[in-house]
Amino acid sequence: MAPAAAKGQPVIVVDGLSAGYGGEVILKDVSFTVARGEILVIVGGSGCGKSTLLKHMIGLHPPMAGRVLIDGVDIGRAQDADLVRVHQGIGVLFQSGALFGSLSLVDNVALPLIDFTHLPKALALDLARVKLGMVGLAGYENHLPSEVSGGMKKRAGLARAMALDPAVLFFDEPSAGLDPVTSAELDQLILRINAGLGTSMVIVSHELASIFSIAHRVVMLDKAEKGVIAMGDPRDLSQNSQDPRVRGFFHRQPPA
């Protein structure tokens, strides 16, 4: 079972968020918080807006209404220095890993350090090697992304997301495309980072084994409702929810 979430002021506040594209509303009036040190997993069926919510939480798109606060800064309206500060305090692991194919793993991980700090390149590369070691990739620093497995690409992407020691990590379907054993290894790595560094994490996932393994709490979205239909410990929701949509998701039961 995942450890209890840390107490204290929330690191993220999603307040009355409405989101969509081209005038189409996908999410309406969504509100929740993420505690410091918490692993929060966003779940729900296909097309319910999980990735849309994540993209708005990291500031890739402005909301139609409402706001997202990270460490008290409204990322939809932040300017210049405030926005840079927020972006340096978060890391993102995209579904594909999003590594640059022409760069070695160590050069990929060093990029944020070179771009956002004044460190000499040699020191940035040394720190990148440390981050790769933290995710179990010591010895693979000079490999290209094409020379390592899918799971190793995910680990390298995680090392790059951790390069600036962010307070918050965002993951978009981290287990996508991985075999069950590699997926379980990634889950354990996520738990070790959370426990060891106290990093807050927001994860989009539909993999039930991962959800039950790593989530302190879930936020469940529904396509028809365009918003949140359940929040809480996934084990409790699985056993005790009276909503058939929630029970159906956690027990892999299609609608009647």
Q: What is the pLDDT of residue 84?
A: 81
pLDDT at 5 over 60: no
Q: What's the rounded Cα separation, in Å, for the pair 36 and 5?
A: 8
Number of H helices, E strands in the chain: 9, 10
Per the CB < 8 A criterion, the answer to whether 68 and 59 are in contact is yes
pLDDT at 178 over 90: no
Q: What is the pLDDT of residue 106?
A: 97
Number of domains in the chain: 1
Taking residue 208's Cβ as centre, other Cβ atoms within 10 Å add up to: 15
Q: For residue 138, is it within any domain?
A: no
Q: For 139-168, write each residue's pLDDT tens digit.
A: 999 999 999 998 899 999 999 999 999 999
pLDDT at 112 over 80: yes
Element (H, E) at 43: strand 39-44
Q: What's the rounded Cα separation, in Å, for the pair 128 and 196?
A: 18
Q: For residue 19, is it within any domain?
A: yes
Q: For residue 43, is it within any domain?
A: yes
Q: For 13-61, write each residue's pLDDT tens digit.
A: 999 999 998 889 999 999 999 999 999 999 999 899 999 999 999 988 8
pLDDT at 109 over 70: yes
Quote the pTM value. 0.90
Structure tokens, 142: 């000079």
Q: For residue 107, is it within any domain?
A: no
Q: What's the rounded Cα separation, in Å, for the pair 238 and 164?
A: 36
Write the CATH number for 209.
3.40.50.300
Q: In the predicted model, what is the mean pLDDT of the chain?
A: 91
**pLDDT confidence bin for 4, thresholds 50/70/90:** very low
Q: What is the pLDDT of residue 253?
A: 83
Domain with 198, as residue range(s), is 10-89+166-250
Q: For residue 199, is it within any domain?
A: yes
Structure tokens, 56: 């708005």
**pLDDT confidence bin for 6, thresholds 50/70/90:** very low
